[in-house]
Homo-oligomer: A and B are copies of this chain.
Amino acid sequence: MFPRNTWYVAATPDEVADKPLGRTICNERLVFYRGAGGQVVALEDFCPHRGAPLSLGRVCEGELICGYHGLKMGCDGKTVSMPGQRVRGFPAIRSFPVVERCGFIWVWPGEAGLADPAKIHPLPWAENPAWAYGGGLYHIQCEYRLMIDNLMDLTHETYVHATSIGQPEIDETPCATRTEGDEVITSRFMNGILPPPFWQMALRSNGLPDDQPVDRWQICHFSPPSHVMIEVGVALAGKGGYDAPPEFKASSIVVDFITPESDSSHWYFWGMARNFKPEDQALTAQLREGQGKVFSEDQQILEQQQANLLRWPERKLLMLNIDAGGVQSRRVLDRVIAAERAPMQPGGAGIPVTPPTA
């Protein structure tokens, strides 16, 4: 139950730096590597000769060489050569559209003919030198939508992350949720509160006082298939909050790419983009360590939640106001998946003939 004709984050560039990477995405076993000229390639992880995984091979001058019998595979899935063999009749393996952009490797697991790099989620901060990014990757044994629910409802911070980023004000302040096209936005504004330690540090970095009341915001943006970008920040109280001029505020973006591996597991790419002290690499490392620790607190509860849902499949979950972000995101996903599966109208690309049954 995930869209296939879409771009997912599959890996980070360091993962394919010096050897092939085997990774299953949307139930497809893939191998990623850097082909000629350094561009990233994604193929089925299956050597057409004897079925060995190509990801156990090595890359030589931009060609992937199977680690079993030396078959040389081209980036189009066609065999280039093999010692002592004529390879013209070898069956091709499937290649997948892949793009390296904004510090991530993106793959399109569905129909290749529909893959348009212009549809890759824009990440303006990634191309702006005033911003810095640090992040990591977790493998989580639950379906990807439970992670979307988690990130589109930050009241859980008060409980799951009670000792780090949680604070009572989050729980006490209502959130507002709306859907705009395929995007779902859920936001919470806490005005006139004291800044917690993280934001004290950020205020000081921006040359602002750290001991005065601030207006704080959390704005979660879901975009299909499973990206959640969370704008977080503070402004000196009374200066306009989220809309205050830059000289009165500090902010960052919590970045989440949630890539299905199978029907009950996913790859969770998490990170933070910030526009203060972008050149401070020690700060980047420190933030990554802290964020990695916080996000690891969700893993146990999500995996046991998945086990509970499998055990009681007939139980309906509640959909409260705090859950609106996840609920509306799932509605968008249902619509996207139904559109993918529906037959196309002649000339009407992407518009299903029958209404989707979400």
Chain A contact residues, CB within 8 Å of chain B: 29, 45-46, 48-53, 56-57, 65-70, 82-85, 90-91, 149, 153, 155-156, 158-160, 171-172, 174, 300-301, 304-305, 307-309, 311-312, 315, 317-318, 320-323
Contact = CB atoms under 8 A, between A and B. Distances in A.
A90 to B, nearest CB: 7
B53 A322 contact: no
7 contacts: A46-B308, A50-B318, A52-B301, A52-B308, A56-B300, A83-B171, A85-B321
Nearest to A86: B320
A52 B305 contact: yes
Contact of A318 (B49, B56, B156, B312): B49
A309 B160 CA distance: 42
Contacts of A311: 29
A67 B159 contact: yes
A301 B51 contact: no
A304 B52 contact: yes
How many of these chains are in the complex? 3
A307 B312 CA distance: 28
Contact of A90 (B82, B159, B307, B318): B318
B308 A69 contact: no
A159 B308 contact: no
A53 B308 CA distance: 7
A56 to B, nearest CB: 5
B69 A322 contact: yes
Contact of A68 (B65, B70, B301): B301
Contact of A67 (B56, B149, B301): B301
B70 A312 contact: no
B90 A315 contact: no
Contacts of A156: 68-69
A308 B70 contact: no
Contact of A172 (B84, B91, B171): B84
Contacts of A158: 70, 83
Contacts of A301: 52-53, 56, 67-68
B153 A69 contact: yes
Contacts of A149: 50
A229 to B, nearest CB: 22
Given A51-B315, A52-B308, A153-B69, A84 B321 contact: yes
Considering residues A68, A307, A323, which has the most beta carbons from chain B within 10 angstroms of its beta carbon? A68
B172 A51 contact: no
A328 to B, nearest CB: 15
A269 to B, nearest CB: 22
